[in-house]
Structure 1
Amino acid sequence: MRLWWKIVGLLCSVASFASADALDNLQGVPLVDTLLVDSSKIVARQKADDFQRFSLVPVLGYTEETEVLYGAMVLFFIKPDEKGGKVPEIGLTAYGSSRGQWQFVLEPFFYLYHDLISGWFALKYQDWITSYYGSGNDPDINTFTNYDKEKFSLCSKFESKAFVPDWFKYGMEVHIEHAKIQFRESDMDFPDPQSGWRNGLGYLFGIDTRDNTNWTAHGFLAEWKQIFYAEAFGDYSFDIESLDLRGYTPIPLQATAAFGLLWQRAEGNVPFDMLAGPDGVQRFRGVESLYFNDNQSLILQSEIRKYFGWRLGGHVFFEGGKVGGYFSELMRNDWHRAVGFGALLGLNLKERLFARADVSWVDFDHVGLSFYVRQAF
């Protein structure tokens, strides 16, 4: 049985290290304050020279898809220009597998103009072997073909709350990607050749009242995003839209309940690996990316998160998802479901930044595993 559903090995080693002055940050700071109190109040209680410089997370595991998987993530934190300001960070991730799969990601986050403007970049190179199950809502887990995918991408997003009410945001997103895809021999019908440049430019706007984007204790997000890919910029012409709704509220035992809804639509000459569907890591965890996929998708999520102590936390979740070629078909199709739990490791408690490892029971039949830094939604 394919892994991402059947786990042979789990995470063998996870650790987090910080500079010496970062450890001083944790002394005498109530954990409730760390996660539920406004970050500016936390900063005010720290010494002026207390600052966490970096965090390191080495990971070693085994799956049927990757065999031995090894790598590490390093996060570098930069002192903000203003006291109590948001902390810029640079993430560097590199990992490979004994099957010859490789991935490298460089992710800087930064803030400008009194933190009213935020920016994110992701420079990614991937040389990976993955599986194609066809399209639609009901793939056969035992019917697939492998393909080799070499991808280089540069994504950037800018969001701003400048000159508008503090509950409103707007921004733009740029996507530059080149993919080289080669299918293995199989009796399956392959999609048309999908290699080449996929370059797009888009906009976003929404309502955002979240108190913190790393670990939200309360607030609401409603975001609309649309990205246009044109042959004038690359080799394909299509557009992608999404509506992202999220709500958060404190519940007893100092925990947080989170709820999410994501609707996606892809229209035009869409490469098969950019159709609407789960990503397997943030939206509908535990499946291979786009295991079920089509022109539209709908994903529902609910989760209860709890911080236990030291740098440890956990959560339980329930998720549902489905896809369809058009909206009425999407509504008629059956739901895929997953329940699961996860462990959280604090990388920077002052910034409420956690790494997580999740185990999912997909469609009450298959087990899946996912790793990520930051919450799923």
Structure 2
Amino acid sequence: MAYVNPAGEFTRDQRYIATRITADGRDGFPVEAGRYRLVVSRACPWANRAIIVRRLLGLEDALSMGIAGPTHDERSWTFDLDPGGRDPVLGIERLQEAFLARYPDYDKGITVPAMVDVPTGQVVTNDFAQITIDLSLEWTAHHRPGAPQLYPESLRTEIDEVNKGVFTEVNNGVYRAGFAGSQEAYDQAYQRLFSKLDWLSERLAGQRYLVGDTITEADVRLFTTLARFDPVYHGHFKCNRSKLAEMPVLWAYARDLFQTPGFGDTIDFTHIKQHYYEVHRDINPTGVVPLGPDLSGWLEPHGRESLGGRPFGDGTPPPPPKPEETVPAAHGTISGR
């Protein structure tokens, strides 16, 4: 399965299923507790956003979560973590089955996160950017008491502006560097990425969060890329001007979020490294997964409290994750792998 564009610049296929799950059900899929299943992989940064938002908003009881394994083949993500290799709720071995149940001739990417309608077994949407916004705005009837405002109306214009630049230059920028098929394309991607990271460092030097004084959707979107930077993007994707741990402001900002309930407790470094190094064989032909880097630094003091800010605004931190959704300790920072 090839990821590198031999012609030069990597271009992401952004043809997603645009159906939405809304409070009024205008697309035919009304918000209902227990009706839908969020399918994710802890390896994927786009899926990791949905995992975090679901945690922060306390939607665990209303929206179940299926966790695919860290690797996939050309067909799709598989449920090899579950007994018998089948999702226990959907009863399928591959996420592809849910896509084909709705679109028998589906010819686009089988991606996570995906929302699946449990009664029919059909995928509803895999539009990752819209999924998290809708969890904030459309699922309010099922939010936990004390759920934070991740997409407050007064800040939406600024959040959208920041998110646009972060997606283009950072979230997707690391892939543009990693999957570049020519020196020129790589050079341009590299410069664009680090130019934006420098801009973010300047912005965050004097404020604790990206927009406003509380955690918002913008922080969630940047965090999932930063969490993967040193374990994967620095080496595997050649984003090696400097490690995250060598960019003081961004490193402290990332640690601040990592140590905030709902962020670091969703990160599975083992799955992250297995996915990138084993799946992208055109970049890493041997499939060998590196043992490093040392990840214990994520738990060191960050000092960002001095900038003020209130992580959850008028809300409260989420409770600990459910036992069945807890990342194994050996997959986080404790083992340093």
**Which TM-score tier does this pair reach, normalised by the shorter chain?**
0.3 to 0.5
Return the index of the structure with the highest Cα Rg.
1
The structure with higher relative contact order (CA 8 Å, sep 6+) is: 2
More strand by share: 1
Task: Tell me which protein shows more helix as a share of its residues.
Answer: 2
